[in-house]
């Protein structure tokens, strides 16, 4: 099968595998479901940089899962789709809004993503999941105050197998921050998150919420499959991808043979890792494919 025909087949399969998660449940029970799948307004992380004072921040592990938002009744993704978790998973949760990560453990992003995106919940798969809560958006006051409310609410709920507060700590200096980062990464973690202690919950990106990782990564949308040559003849050689700001580049490394034979569908979003950007063009240097990112709010199933 040619790469072009294979791409068309995968695009069709992608439509079947990744429907709009909220639509079916909302139609079945409109009185108890959100009217639309509009993305919730969330606080987003910027990047830690030299010169900031770590003493102003609470520091926690960055969990590699699927962003989740609990509104006191319904669990939704960052993109606004209803998460079809089993009833027992959210039973007994607080009625206050919570912002966190649906997580299956270190190195298990694939399990978390596939579990969260299912329209019919897989009970066994959800047994491995936890909602790791790092903020309560509707609570007034700075992060110090919200963190106390968060820990109190989760302790009172007493649902440790499904609902946990993200452990937070304060550090004295950058040396401690870098040592913690190395320890988390050596243990299989992704990196660190830093919440400014006195900051309100504000949507968008700012220095009030930051992430720190040993490598940089970002997301881009697949525009085309570029045919391979040599040992990759008849398979995908590279993806042509487009960043959020409209820049396009070839993403050709980091793929397994199986992924080259069945590349991510056109229109899907992928995560790539890189080492800085080129002067002038701003394009990423040494970009490497990491995975398909179907939980991105901009994700659309191929048509």
DSSP output for 129-150: -EEEEEE-TTS-S-HHHHHHHH
Give the mean model confidence (pLDDT) for residues 164-172: 98
**Residue pointed to by tokens 């963190």:** 147
Q: What is the pLDDT of residue 197?
A: 98
For residue 198, name the pLDDT band (cuts at 50, 70, 90). Answer: very high
pLDDT higher than 70, residue 298: no
C-alpha 199/C-alpha 142 separation (Å) is 5
Choose the catalytic residue: 62, 148, 213, 231. 62
Q: What is the pLDDT of residue 282?
A: 86
pTM above 0.75, yes or no: no
Neighbouring C-beta atoms of residue 63, cutoff 10 Å: 24
C-alpha 143/C-alpha 202 separation (Å) is 11
Q: What is the pLDDT of residue 256?
A: 93
For residue 189, name the pLDDT band (cuts at 50, 70, 90). Answer: very high
pLDDT higher than 90, residue 18: no
Summarised one tens digit per residue, pLDDT across range 105-144 is: 999 999 999 999 999 999 999 999 999 999 999 999 999 9
**Which residues is 133 bridged to in the sheet?**
100, 165
Q: What is the pLDDT of residue 38?
A: 77
C-alpha 66/C-alpha 295 separation (Å) is 7
pLDDT higher than 80, residue 64: yes
pLDDT higher than 50, residue 176: yes
Q: What is the pLDDT of residue 155?
A: 98
Active-site residue flag, 62: yes
pLDDT higher than 60, residue 12: no
Q: What is the pLDDT of residue 277?
A: 82
Summarised one tens digit per residue, pLDDT across range 219-273 is: 899 999 999 999 999 999 999 999 988 999 999 999 999 999 999 999 999 989 8
Q: Which of 186, 193, 184, 197 is nearest to 212 (CA)?
A: 193
Summarised one tens digit per residue, pLDDT across range 21-61 is: 233 333 333 333 333 457 889 999 999 998 999 999 999 99
Q: What is the pLDDT of residue 37?
A: 56
Q: What is the pLDDT of residue 218?
A: 85
Least confident range of 182-191, 215-224, 290-299: 290-299
For residue 295, name the pLDDT band (cuts at 50, 70, 90). Answer: low
Q: What is the pLDDT of residue 16?
A: 32
């Amino acid at each position: 099968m040619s790469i072009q025909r294979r791409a068309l087949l995968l695009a069709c399969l992608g439509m079947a595998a990744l429907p709009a998660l909220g639509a079916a449940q909302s139609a079945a029970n409109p009185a108890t479901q959100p009217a639309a799948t509009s993305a919730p307004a969330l606080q987003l992380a910027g990047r830690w940089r030299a010169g900031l004072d770590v003493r102003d921040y609470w520091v926690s592990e960055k969990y590699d899962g699927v962003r989740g938002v609990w509104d006191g009744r319904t669990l939704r993704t960052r993109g606004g789709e209803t998460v079809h978790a089993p009833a027992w998973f959210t039973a007994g949760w607080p009625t206050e809004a919570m912002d966190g990560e649906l997580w299956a453990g270190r190195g298990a992003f694939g399990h978390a993503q596939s579990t969260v995106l299912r329209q019919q919940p897989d009970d066994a798969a959800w047994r491995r999941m936890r909602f790791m809560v790092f903020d309560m958006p509707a609570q007034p006051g700075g992060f110090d105050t919200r963190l106390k409310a968060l820990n109190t609410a989760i302790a009172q709920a007493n649902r440790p197998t499904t609902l946990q507060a993200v452990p937070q700590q304060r550090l004295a200096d950058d040396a401690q921050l870098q040592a913690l980062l190395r320890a988390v990464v050596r243990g299989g973690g992704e990196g660190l998150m830093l919440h400014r202690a006195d900051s309100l919950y504000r949507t968008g990106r700012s220095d009030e919420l930051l992430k720190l990782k040993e490598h940089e990564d970002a997301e881009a949308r697949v525009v085309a499959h570029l045919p391979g040559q040599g040992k990759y003849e008849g398979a995908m050689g590279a993806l042509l991808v487009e960043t959020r700001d409209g820049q396009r580049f070839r993403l050709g490394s980091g793929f397994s043979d199986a992924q080259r034979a069945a590349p991510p569908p056109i229109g899907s979003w992928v995560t790539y890792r890189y080492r800085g950007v080129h002067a002038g063009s701003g394009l990423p240097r040494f970009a490497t494919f990491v995975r398909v990112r179907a939980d991105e709010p901009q994700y659309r199933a191929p048509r």
